[in-house]
Amino acid sequence: MATNIQYRERNEELIEQLAGAVTEEERDQIESELYKVNVPLIHITVLAYQFPFDYDDRFSICTEAFSKALRGFDHTKETAFATYVTTAMRHALTKYHRDQHNPKRWSEHPHTSLDFITSDLIQRELTFHDLIADPDGDYPKKIEQLEVVSQVLQVAQELLSPKQYKCFVNYIKPDGERLSQDEIANELKVSQMHVSRLTRQGIQKLKDHFRDMEGSRS
Protein backbone atom coordinates (compact mmCIF):
# COMPACT_ATOMS: atom_id res chain seq x y z
CA MET A 1 0.00 0.00 0.00
CA ALA A 2 1.52 3.32 -1.06
CA THR A 3 2.24 5.85 1.68
CA ASN A 4 2.38 9.61 1.19
CA ILE A 5 6.19 9.42 1.21
CA GLN A 6 6.18 6.63 -1.38
CA TYR A 7 3.79 8.66 -3.52
CA ARG A 8 6.18 11.64 -3.51
CA GLU A 9 9.19 9.43 -4.14
CA ARG A 10 7.47 7.75 -7.10
CA ASN A 11 6.60 11.15 -8.55
CA GLU A 12 10.20 12.35 -8.13
CA GLU A 13 11.51 9.18 -9.78
CA LEU A 14 9.19 9.56 -12.77
CA ILE A 15 9.90 13.29 -13.11
CA GLU A 16 13.64 12.56 -13.29
CA GLN A 17 12.98 9.90 -15.92
CA LEU A 18 10.85 12.37 -17.87
CA ALA A 19 13.62 14.98 -17.80
CA GLY A 20 16.03 12.42 -19.25
CA ALA A 21 13.68 11.00 -21.87
CA VAL A 22 15.15 11.09 -25.36
CA THR A 23 12.32 10.00 -27.64
CA GLU A 24 8.70 11.11 -27.80
CA GLU A 25 7.65 7.51 -27.16
CA GLU A 26 9.61 7.48 -23.89
CA ARG A 27 7.99 10.75 -22.84
CA ASP A 28 4.51 9.44 -23.63
CA GLN A 29 5.07 6.28 -21.56
CA ILE A 30 6.41 8.20 -18.56
CA GLU A 31 3.68 10.84 -18.76
CA SER A 32 1.09 8.07 -18.90
CA GLU A 33 2.53 6.52 -15.73
CA LEU A 34 2.61 9.93 -13.99
CA TYR A 35 -1.04 10.39 -14.88
CA LYS A 36 -1.96 7.02 -13.36
CA VAL A 37 -0.07 7.80 -10.16
CA ASN A 38 -1.75 11.20 -9.85
CA VAL A 39 -5.35 10.39 -10.79
CA PRO A 40 -6.40 10.64 -7.09
CA LEU A 41 -4.82 14.11 -6.91
CA ILE A 42 -6.74 15.21 -10.01
CA HIS A 43 -9.92 13.74 -8.57
CA ILE A 44 -9.60 15.53 -5.24
CA THR A 45 -8.73 18.82 -6.94
CA VAL A 46 -11.98 18.56 -8.92
CA LEU A 47 -13.83 17.97 -5.64
CA ALA A 48 -12.01 20.73 -3.77
CA TYR A 49 -12.86 23.64 -6.05
CA GLN A 50 -16.58 24.13 -6.51
CA PHE A 51 -17.66 25.80 -9.72
CA PRO A 52 -21.14 25.88 -11.30
CA PHE A 53 -20.38 23.50 -14.15
CA ASP A 54 -20.45 19.72 -14.49
CA TYR A 55 -18.06 17.42 -12.67
CA ASP A 56 -17.08 15.75 -15.95
CA ASP A 57 -16.21 19.13 -17.45
CA ARG A 58 -14.10 20.03 -14.41
CA PHE A 59 -12.31 16.68 -14.55
CA SER A 60 -11.58 17.14 -18.27
CA ILE A 61 -10.18 20.63 -17.65
CA CYS A 62 -8.02 19.41 -14.76
CA THR A 63 -6.72 16.48 -16.78
CA GLU A 64 -5.74 18.78 -19.64
CA ALA A 65 -4.08 21.22 -17.22
CA PHE A 66 -2.20 18.36 -15.53
CA SER A 67 -0.91 17.13 -18.89
CA LYS A 68 0.30 20.60 -19.87
CA ALA A 69 1.87 21.15 -16.45
CA LEU A 70 4.01 18.05 -17.00
CA ARG A 71 5.61 19.76 -19.98
CA GLY A 72 6.19 22.97 -18.09
CA PHE A 73 7.48 21.60 -14.78
CA ASP A 74 11.13 22.29 -13.93
CA HIS A 75 12.38 19.58 -11.56
CA THR A 76 15.51 21.60 -10.75
CA LYS A 77 13.46 24.20 -8.86
CA GLU A 78 12.23 23.84 -5.29
CA THR A 79 8.51 23.82 -6.08
CA ALA A 80 6.93 20.46 -5.26
CA PHE A 81 5.43 18.67 -8.26
CA ALA A 82 2.05 18.13 -6.58
CA THR A 83 1.87 21.81 -5.61
CA TYR A 84 2.77 22.88 -9.14
CA VAL A 85 0.20 20.73 -10.95
CA THR A 86 -2.51 21.45 -8.37
CA THR A 87 -2.00 25.18 -8.90
CA ALA A 88 -2.15 24.66 -12.66
CA MET A 89 -5.44 22.78 -12.35
CA ARG A 90 -6.91 25.39 -10.02
CA HIS A 91 -5.98 28.21 -12.39
CA ALA A 92 -7.43 26.31 -15.35
CA LEU A 93 -10.75 25.87 -13.53
CA THR A 94 -10.82 29.52 -12.44
CA LYS A 95 -9.99 30.76 -15.92
CA TYR A 96 -12.62 28.55 -17.55
CA HIS A 97 -15.24 29.79 -15.09
CA ARG A 98 -14.26 33.42 -15.69
CA ASP A 99 -14.24 33.01 -19.47
CA GLN A 100 -17.67 31.38 -19.44
CA HIS A 101 -19.01 34.58 -17.88
CA ASN A 102 -17.18 36.78 -20.39
CA PRO A 103 -17.84 35.54 -23.97
CA LYS A 104 -15.60 38.19 -25.56
CA ARG A 105 -12.66 37.17 -23.39
CA TRP A 106 -13.45 33.52 -24.12
CA SER A 107 -13.22 34.06 -27.88
CA GLU A 108 -9.90 35.88 -27.53
CA HIS A 109 -8.29 33.56 -25.01
CA PRO A 110 -9.50 29.93 -25.05
CA HIS A 111 -9.08 28.07 -21.76
CA THR A 112 -6.31 25.92 -23.23
CA SER A 113 -3.87 28.83 -22.85
CA LEU A 114 -2.57 28.47 -19.27
CA ASP A 115 -0.07 30.32 -17.14
CA PHE A 116 1.50 27.87 -14.72
CA ILE A 117 2.69 29.67 -11.65
CA THR A 118 4.17 28.48 -8.37
CA SER A 119 1.91 28.14 -5.36
CA ASP A 120 2.00 29.65 -1.91
CA LEU A 121 -0.42 27.05 -0.54
CA ILE A 122 -0.01 26.42 3.13
CA GLN A 123 1.83 23.12 3.68
CA ARG A 124 0.41 21.54 6.81
CA GLU A 125 -0.61 18.09 7.96
CA LEU A 126 -4.24 17.10 7.40
CA THR A 127 -5.60 14.22 9.44
CA PHE A 128 -8.24 11.86 8.13
CA HIS A 129 -10.50 13.09 10.91
CA ASP A 130 -10.28 16.62 9.44
CA LEU A 131 -11.57 15.25 6.15
CA ILE A 132 -14.64 13.34 7.29
CA ALA A 133 -15.56 14.70 10.71
CA ASP A 134 -17.85 17.40 9.36
CA PRO A 135 -19.31 16.45 5.96
CA ASP A 136 -21.63 19.46 6.03
CA GLY A 137 -18.84 21.94 6.80
CA ASP A 138 -16.72 24.00 4.43
CA TYR A 139 -15.07 21.07 2.71
CA PRO A 140 -12.74 22.90 0.26
CA LYS A 141 -11.09 24.94 3.01
CA LYS A 142 -10.09 21.74 4.78
CA ILE A 143 -8.06 20.59 1.79
CA GLU A 144 -4.89 22.60 2.14
CA GLN A 145 -2.58 19.63 1.79
CA LEU A 146 -3.88 17.82 -1.29
CA GLU A 147 -1.17 15.17 -1.31
CA VAL A 148 -2.49 13.83 2.00
CA VAL A 149 -6.08 13.77 0.72
CA SER A 150 -4.85 12.05 -2.42
CA GLN A 151 -3.29 9.39 -0.21
CA VAL A 152 -6.62 8.90 1.56
CA LEU A 153 -8.31 8.21 -1.77
CA GLN A 154 -5.56 5.78 -2.76
CA VAL A 155 -5.97 3.92 0.53
CA ALA A 156 -9.75 3.92 0.14
CA GLN A 157 -9.48 2.45 -3.36
CA GLU A 158 -7.24 -0.35 -2.09
CA LEU A 159 -9.00 -1.02 1.21
CA LEU A 160 -12.69 -0.75 0.36
CA SER A 161 -14.92 -2.85 -1.84
CA PRO A 162 -15.94 -1.18 -5.13
CA LYS A 163 -19.39 -0.37 -3.74
CA GLN A 164 -17.99 0.98 -0.47
CA TYR A 165 -15.51 3.11 -2.40
CA LYS A 166 -18.23 4.58 -4.64
CA CYS A 167 -20.36 5.41 -1.59
CA PHE A 168 -17.38 6.97 0.21
CA VAL A 169 -16.37 9.15 -2.75
CA ASN A 170 -19.97 10.33 -3.08
CA TYR A 171 -20.09 11.03 0.67
CA ILE A 172 -17.13 13.44 0.54
CA LYS A 173 -18.30 15.30 -2.56
CA PRO A 174 -19.36 18.92 -1.99
CA ASP A 175 -22.98 19.98 -2.03
CA GLY A 176 -24.35 20.13 -5.54
CA GLU A 177 -22.17 17.23 -6.68
CA ARG A 178 -23.29 14.61 -4.19
CA LEU A 179 -25.82 12.09 -5.48
CA SER A 180 -28.84 11.29 -3.37
CA GLN A 181 -29.03 7.93 -1.63
CA ASP A 182 -31.79 6.96 -4.02
CA GLU A 183 -29.58 7.74 -7.05
CA ILE A 184 -26.64 5.79 -5.60
CA ALA A 185 -28.94 2.89 -4.70
CA ASN A 186 -30.29 2.71 -8.26
CA GLU A 187 -26.77 2.86 -9.68
CA LEU A 188 -25.48 0.10 -7.40
CA LYS A 189 -28.75 -1.86 -7.60
CA VAL A 190 -29.12 -2.02 -3.82
CA SER A 191 -31.55 -0.53 -1.29
CA GLN A 192 -31.09 2.94 0.22
CA MET A 193 -30.57 1.30 3.59
CA HIS A 194 -27.73 -0.74 2.10
CA VAL A 195 -26.16 2.46 0.74
CA SER A 196 -26.12 3.89 4.27
CA ARG A 197 -24.59 0.69 5.57
CA LEU A 198 -21.92 0.63 2.83
CA THR A 199 -21.01 4.24 3.57
CA ARG A 200 -20.73 3.64 7.33
CA GLN A 201 -18.71 0.47 6.79
CA GLY A 202 -16.31 2.20 4.42
CA ILE A 203 -15.75 5.15 6.74
CA GLN A 204 -15.21 2.86 9.71
CA LYS A 205 -12.65 0.78 7.80
CA LEU A 206 -10.72 3.92 6.93
CA LYS A 207 -10.94 5.29 10.47
CA ASP A 208 -9.62 1.98 11.84
CA HIS A 209 -6.84 1.90 9.26
CA PHE A 210 -5.58 5.40 10.01
CA ARG A 211 -6.00 4.90 13.76
CA ASP A 212 -3.84 1.76 13.51
CA MET A 213 -1.26 3.70 11.50
CA GLU A 214 -1.11 6.43 14.15
CA GLY A 215 -0.84 3.79 16.88
CA SER A 216 2.06 2.04 15.16
CA ARG A 217 3.98 5.33 14.96
CA SER A 218 3.52 6.15 18.65
Tell which residue, 86, 186, 210, has the closest CA to residue 140: 86
- Same domain, residue pair 121 and 165: no
**Structural domain range at position 218:** 160-218
Mean pLDDT of 58-77: 84
Mean pLDDT of 125-147: 43
In a 13 Å sphere around the CA of 216, the CA atoms on its Cβ side amount to 6
- Same domain, residue pair 22 and 110: yes
What is the identity of the amino acid at 100? Q
Whether 216 maps to a domain, the answer reads yes
pLDDT band at 101 (very low <50, low <70, confident <90, very high): low
Could you give the CA distance from residue 61 to residue 90 in angstroms, rounded to a whole number?
10
- Same domain, residue pair 76 and 135: yes
pLDDT band at 28 (very low <50, low <70, confident <90, very high): confident
The DSSP string of 140-190 is HHH-S-HHHHHHHHHHHHHHS-HHHHHHHHHHTSPTTTPPPHHHHHHHHTS
DSSP, collapsed to helix, strand or coil, labels residue 20 as coil
Contact between residue 198 and residue 170 where contact means Cβ atoms under 8 Å apart:
no
Could you give the CA distance from residue 45 to residue 138 in angstroms, rounded to a whole number?
15
pTM of the model: 0.49
- Same domain, residue pair 46 and 110: yes
pLDDT tens digits, one per residue of 171-192: 777 656 678 878 888 989 888 7
What is the identity of the amino acid at 199? T
- Same domain, residue pair 115 and 195: no
Domain-ending residue, one of 120, 145, 170: 145
- Structural domains of the chain, count: 2
Furthest C-alpha separation in the chain: 58
Could you give the CA distance from residue 192 to residue 189 in angstroms, rounded to a whole number?
9
